[in-house]
A and B are shown apart, each in its own frame.
Chain A
Amino acid sequence: MLTIKNLHASIEGTPILKGINLEVKPGEVHAIMGPNGSGKSTLASVLAGREEYEVTEGEVSFKGKNLLELSPEDRAREGVFLAFQYPVEIPGVSSTNFLRTAVNQVREYRGLEALDAVKFLSIMKEKMKLVEIDQKLLSRSLNEGFSGGEKKRNEIFQMAMLEPTLSILDETDSGLDIDALRIVSNGVNQLKSSENATIVVTHYQRLLDYIVPDFVHVLYNGKIVKSGTKELALELEEKGYDWIKEEADAASV
């Protein structure tokens, strides 16, 4: 589904990603972990098409297409979804209108008919249950005045509405209390299928108790320095990142 080969990216001339290789197949959950500043969020941003990052080398193919050539909106329409680490507050744009516009533009791209208001609302109601989100919240401006937990739930709710094939959760767990974490993870798990895949970018092993990964990758200094199964995450939780850093630094000398 997703193949990343030797991906290098920089921001304002500073290299952040220095040769990422990753293969994600349908039905898989990949966790990307690593210390602060290792490039985790940059990887998520580059995949979603954030313009500040410049890809200097390498390639990314998604369902056979060159992902890097697509605009952010076309990536979303192709089925890439980024749950933002910091969802943006947009005063004056109602959550419901925004989502209906998004869903219909995605549907149009995929050759599907636009949903009318009634149909849209009924789907919305159904998906709202997934993340236990309140209708009142959705009648307000997008993310405006939402608590941290509400914003993250809204991200997963949007994901449910857009039905992506590849979801990238960028530190969705950061700042969530246990209840919110449970709700968010529950939503993600229910959306999992044999056809879609999830990349979970996180700093904390805690999230992986709820969303169980098939693979765990450790990113350090712009590269994946270690890959393994969920046991690797437990090991990291126990021992921290220092031993990985030492190993990696020793290898690069």
Chain B
Amino acid sequence: MTTIIKNKATDLFLENNPNFSTFENLRKNGLEFLEAKGLPHLKEEEYKFTQISKKIEQNISSFKGAKRSELTSENLKSNLFEGFEGDVVVFNNGHFDAELSSISAQNYSFSKLSETQPDLLGQIAKNEKDPFTALNSLAFEDGIHISVEKGKKVEKPIFLIHFNKANEGQIINSRILIEIAENAEVTFIENTVSLDEEVYFSNAVVEIKVNQNAHGYYYRLQNENRKAIGANNFATDIHRDATFTSVATQLQGDMLRNNLTLNLLDSGCEGNMYGLYLLNGKTHVDNHTNVDHTKPHCDSNELYKGVLADSSRGVFNGKIFVRQDAQKTNAFQQNNNILMSEDAIVNTKPQLEIWADDVKCSHGCTTGQLEDEALFYLQARGIGKEHAKGLLLYAFAGEVFEHIAYEPFKEYCIQLVQERLGSNF
């Protein structure tokens, strides 16, 4: 892969990127890292179950950044869910689409990254932490920067919606930076929509800074086409007494890798990570989560659940790092999986590193099948087998959605999952 980066990527990005010099340091730093290490290879521990570099090499013919594709208000309209009210930020192949977006900027400011050129960019999701972050830093053209005002609550959620369609297998690079000021509160919803059934590689980076006593909620949905390849780096710095909650749902794609990092940087903060991957066909989804407890009296809660049918594959890696200073930490992690077929695979790995001595940490993972006895019980009451399976699977999976506080989106996710369980299981 290193050769590909050297030969194709550098030149192409340099040539075509109008904002190349705007973020020169960040890009150079990304390039150095990539030239030294390249994209992850098979033997790399962090990527050993997810051969995404190979996938990219086989499917992505051009390393050019994707240009905008045709996008209409109809596309947007058909992807807004019932009951949604709020601002919409539209991305077209990773590029901000001002025309289709509706931004009230009520209690927050909105700008392009090229306009504000914040120093914070690249400080939360660091290039050296993941090669795909470095690749994004090198390649993104522009991104968006949202700052929620001090002490204010953005009353309605901000909907970030990505429309992806890359001809010739180009790379889609989106970059988002969010700052939530002291005592502020905001909810984001993010959805990725494939505009056709063709292959693309989306390499996204989201960075969030949650300042003192602020609250952020981030609900993500990935229900992409069957050829979609995605690398998503999502990193959050959480400051004193602040809370951050992520609920991530993956329903479809070819190969999706999500790195979610929560840095609990001061005492009294709370980080929550919930996830559901409900997969079929050959979809491969890898969730790597990482919570770093650096100071005392912080809590983290994590629950990821998986239902895997056909020859789908799920990977869960949950790292909890409790530093020596982080006394009185409460860190809980749970990963539960149900395999619906003999060809489905799940690799789950809790990874706890605890250097403080006065902490409460727990982790657990389970992988099993639907319980025969429960299924028989429902059937014995007259409920058809397929319906009974759906009921049981939903009972298992639905727990994750209880953590979505925004009702219309919660209902939308429930509806998608129930449709899936009704038709596929």
A→B interface (CB under 8 Å) = 48-52, 71-73, 75-77, 81-82, 84, 87-88, 90-93, 98-99, 101-103, 105-106, 109, 141, 158, 162
Let me know if B378 is at the binding interface, CB within 8 A.
Answer: yes
Let me know if B412 is at the binding interface, CB within 8 A.
Answer: no
Known A77-B382, A93-B392; judge A88-B399 contact (CB<8 A). no
Pair B379/A72 contact, Cβ less than 8 Å: yes
Known A90-B377, A98-B391, A101-B391; judge A73-B382 contact (CB<8 A). yes
Q: Which residues in A have their C-beta under 8 angstroms from that of B380?
A: 48-49, 72-73, 75-76, 81-82, 84
Tell me the nearest residue of chain A to B397, going by C-beta: A92
Measured as residues with beta carbon below 8 angstroms from the partner, the interface class of chain B is: 20 to 34
B→A interface (CB under 8 Å) = 371-374, 376-385, 387-388, 391-392, 394-396, 398-399
- A164 CB to nearest B CB, Å: 10
Known A72-B380, A73-B382, A106-B382; judge A101-B387 contact (CB<8 A). yes
Pair B374/A72 contact, Cβ less than 8 Å: no
Q: Which residues in A have their C-beta under 8 angstroms from that of B394?
A: 92
Tell me the nearest residue of chain A to B381, going by C-beta: A102
The residue in B373, B374, B380, B387 that gathers the most chain A C-beta atoms within 10 A of its C-beta is B380
- A104 CB to nearest B CB, Å: 9
Known A88-B373, A90-B392; judge A162-B382 contact (CB<8 A). yes
Q: Which residues in A have their C-beta under 8 angstroms from that of B396?
A: 92
- A31 CB to nearest B CB, Å: 21
- A43 CB to nearest B CB, Å: 15
Q: Which residues in B have their C-beta under 8 angstroms from that of A92?
A: 394-396, 398-399
Interface contacts beyond A73-B379, A82-B380, A101-B391: sample of 20 additional A-B pairs, CB < 8 Å, sorted by A: A48-B380, A72-B379, A72-B385, A73-B382, A73-B384, A73-B388, A75-B380, A76-B381, A88-B373, A88-B374, A88-B377, A90-B377, A90-B378, A92-B394, A92-B398, A93-B395, A98-B383, A99-B381, A102-B378, A162-B382
Pair B382/A109 contact, Cβ less than 8 Å: yes
Pair B377/A102 contact, Cβ less than 8 Å: no
Pair B377/A76 contact, Cβ less than 8 Å: no
Pair A162/B381 contact, Cβ less than 8 Å: yes
- B385 CB to nearest A CB, Å: 6
Rounded to whole angstroms, the CA-CA distance of A71 and B396 in the bound complex is 25
- B67 CB to nearest A CB, Å: 46
- A202 CB to nearest B CB, Å: 19
Pair A90/B376 contact, Cβ less than 8 Å: no
- B189 CB to nearest A CB, Å: 24
Pair B383/A102 contact, Cβ less than 8 Å: yes
Q: Which residues in B have their C-beta under 8 angstroms from that of A52?
A: 372
The residue in B371, B377, B398 that gathers the most chain A C-beta atoms within 10 A of its C-beta is B377
Q: Which residues in B have their C-beta under 8 angstroms from that of A90?
A: 374, 377-378, 392, 395
Pair B382/A102 contact, Cβ less than 8 Å: yes
Chain A to chain B: the 9 pairs with minimum beta-carbon distance, closest first: A92-B395, A76-B382, A72-B379, A106-B382, A102-B381, A88-B377, A73-B379, A93-B395, A77-B382
Pair A71/B379 contact, Cβ less than 8 Å: yes
Tell me the nearest residue of chain B to A158, going by C-beta: B381
- A52 CB to nearest B CB, Å: 8
- B106 CB to nearest A CB, Å: 38
Q: Which residues in B have their C-beta under 8 angstroms from that of A82?
A: 380
Known A87-B377, A93-B395; judge A101-B383 contact (CB<8 A). yes
Q: Which residues in A have their C-beta under 8 angstroms from that of B382?
A: 73, 76-77, 102-103, 105-106, 109, 162
Rounded to whole angstroms, the CA-CA distance of A52 and B372 in the bound complex is 10
Q: Which residues in B have their C-beta under 8 angstroms from that of A76?
A: 379-382
Q: Which residues in B have their C-beta under 8 angstroms from that of A99?
A: 381
- B392 CB to nearest A CB, Å: 7
The residue in B372, B374, B381 that gathers the most chain A C-beta atoms within 10 A of its C-beta is B381
Q: Which residues in A have their C-beta under 8 angstroms from that of B398?
A: 92
Known A88-B373, A90-B374; judge A98-B381 contact (CB<8 A). yes
Within the complex, which residue of A51, A87, A91, A162 is in contact with B395, where a contact is CB–CB below 8 Å? A91
Pull 20 A–B residue pairs with CB atoms less than 8 Å apart, ordered by A.
A72-B376, A72-B379, A73-B379, A73-B385, A76-B381, A76-B382, A81-B380, A87-B377, A90-B377, A90-B378, A90-B395, A91-B395, A92-B396, A101-B383, A101-B387, A102-B381, A102-B382, A109-B382, A162-B381, A162-B382
